[in-house]
Amino acid sequence: MDELPGPVIEKLQIFRKVESEHPLMAHAPADKYYTALVTGDLRNLKVLTDKYYEDVNLIFEISKNELEWQVKSLASFGLSGLWSLEYKRELTTPLCITARNGHTACVRHLLFWRADPNMAPGGQSALHEACEGGHMDCTELLLEHRANPNLLSEEGLAPLHLCTNQNTLGCAKLLVKYGAMVDLPSEETQETPLHIAAKHGLYDHALLYLRYGASVDRKNSREETALSVTCGQAKEQAEQGSYLQVCRLLVTYSADVNATDEEEKSPLHKACRNASHTLVQFLLQNKADVNAIDYNGASPLSCSLQTAAFKQQLRPHLTVQTLLNHGSQKIWPMAFGKVLKSCASVPEIIEILFNSYSQVPISEQWREAIPEEIFQMHLSFYESFFMLSCTPRCLQHLCRCAIRKKFGGKCHYLIPLLPVPKPLQNYLLLEPEGILL
């Protein structure tokens, strides 16, 4: 029996990116057809389909010469690297091209001519392309014509995995409506759509998946739950509000706040490392273990101290203060010199840690751990600090330590209930004052 003929392959050489604003100067039918697809020129697309391309399931083999930055060895190209001309070959279909660019009318035309919505010669189907671009109308058309919502791309991603920004919410809703599996893991990282929503701080996406039955504590290849991913991604001040929303949602759906990843890091470890004070507070309010130890023996407090110097804009001292008021184990007094060396630029942390002890012997060698520029910048604080080297702490401080010892891990709750003025409550809660007495 004769084999059925395969799809037509048209070869194109593209020397620059083809965009709707700068269409390709087309002469050959293949060039004209490609240009019509990219620009959404339905009129020409119909003419060319009738005349040359009744089989719309042809494959475009597009060759591109593009400049790419290549990092090479120092001996070969100096300190940086080299711009080199790279040859790229891309396989795609008319339907993939129009779906990628959001040309709904062209997608409808191609589907009418029986374009296969599940063809993916370049690794991604038209549905992947439409969802990645947030093209809701194209997505709906493709699903109506039996595009597979669970088809994995060459990279092992389903269309839901490509819904990575707020503009793709409509596409995500359509996908789950048409049977997309909300717990389908990606092949390489084993991330579910909920992990993806958590990674990008997408509350509405996460809510959608949870309502459709997504497993809230499903783990990826690094043993991370969605909550763990959320806390690890909340790195910038402007983003922390959206990540906090996602955390609240996940905990509402009974996420395990003490689930650990492959390094035995809990969500609290990651939130502390990112100096995400609001996330730290939220996790502690929901019974996160303040003294959990990871594989390397680090506590949440240690994670906070390790990154404090690089997170000053996020006021990392608030995280340290919150941890101590929730019962975090204090650092070993003899290690205070190391903390001083790493956190000298954040004197609020030094003050909070120092005041968490009734008395810590101050070594003269600690002065060498503080860069002169930082010492001068915070002169009044560090002068008061070293003046205590041979002086016992004041009675008020010793009373503070006695009260805090009595309250233990409930300082954050019990101290605000004391019938004392607000400034005194702040003092008991280790609020930094900029000077040590």
Distance, in Å, from the CA atom of 153 to the CA atom of 119, rounded to the nearest integer, reads 11
- CA 119 from chain centre, in angstroms, equals 31
Residue 90, classed as helix, strand or coil, is: strand
Q: Are 159 and 180 in contact (CB under 8 A)?
A: yes
Longest distance between any two alpha carbons in the chain, whole Å:
99
Q: Is 390 exposed, middle or buried (0-12, 13-18, 19+ CB in 10 A)?
A: exposed
Tokens 């922390």 belong to residue:
240
**66 has pLDDT over 60:** no
pLDDT at site 70: 55
Fold category of 1-70+84-150 in CATH: 1.25.40
**11 has pLDDT over 80:** no
Among 11-20, 66-75, 142-151, 383-392, which stretch is predicted with the lowest mean pLDDT? 11-20
Mean pLDDT for all residues in the chain: 90
Write down how long the chain is. 437
pLDDT at site 21: 46
Residue 65, classed as helix, strand or coil, is: strand
pTM above 0.75, yes or no: yes
Tell me which residue of 105, 106, 161 sits closest to 128, measured CA to CA. 161
- CA dihedral (409, 410, 411, 417) in degrees, to 10, reads -170
Residue 234 has phi, psi (to 5 degrees) of -75, 75
| Per-residue model confidence as pLDDT tens digits over 192-244 | 999 999 999 999 999 999 999 999 999 999 999 999 999 999 998 889 999 99
Percentage, residues of the chain above pLDDT 90 = 78
Q: Which long-range contacts (CB under 8 A, 24 or more apart) does 187-193 make?
A: 187/152, 187/155, 187/156, 187/157, 188/155, 188/156, 188/221, 189/220, 189/221, 189/222, 190/219, 190/220, 190/221, 191/161, 191/220, 191/221, 192/218, 192/220, 192/226, 193/158, 193/160, 193/161, 193/163
CB atoms within 10 A of CB 329: 14
| Per-residue model confidence as pLDDT tens digits over 270-316 | 999 999 999 999 999 999 999 999 999 999 999 999 999 999 999 99
Distance, in Å, from the CA atom of 257 to the CA atom of 280, rounded to the nearest integer, reads 11
The number of CA neighbours under 13 Å toward the Cβ of 190 is 9
Q: Which residue spans of the chain are classified as CATH 1.25.40.20?
A: 1-70+84-150
Distance, in Å, from the CA atom of 321 to the CA atom of 7, rounded to the nearest integer, reads 66
| Per-residue model confidence as pLDDT tens digits over 358-412 | 999 998 889 999 999 999 999 999 999 999 988 889 999 999 999 999 999 999 9
Residue 29 has phi, psi (to 5 degrees) of -55, -40
Q: Which residues contact 340 (CB under 8 A, 6 or more apart)?
A: 350, 366, 369, 370
CB atoms within 10 A of CB 165: 13
- CA 227 from chain centre, in angstroms, equals 11
| Per-residue model confidence as pLDDT tens digits over 139-153 | 999 999 999 999 999
Residue 245, classed as helix, strand or coil, is: helix
Q: Tokens in use for 311?
A: 């997170």
- CA dihedral (356, 360, 362, 367) in degrees, to 10, reads -20
Q: Are 284 and 292 in contact (CB under 8 A)?
A: no
DSSP for 290-347, please give it.
TT---TTS--HHHHHHHHGGG-GGG-THHHHHHHHHTTPPPPPGGGHHHHHHHHTT-H
Cβ density class 6-35: b for 16+ within 10 Å, e for less: eeeebebebeeebeeeeebebeeebbbbbb
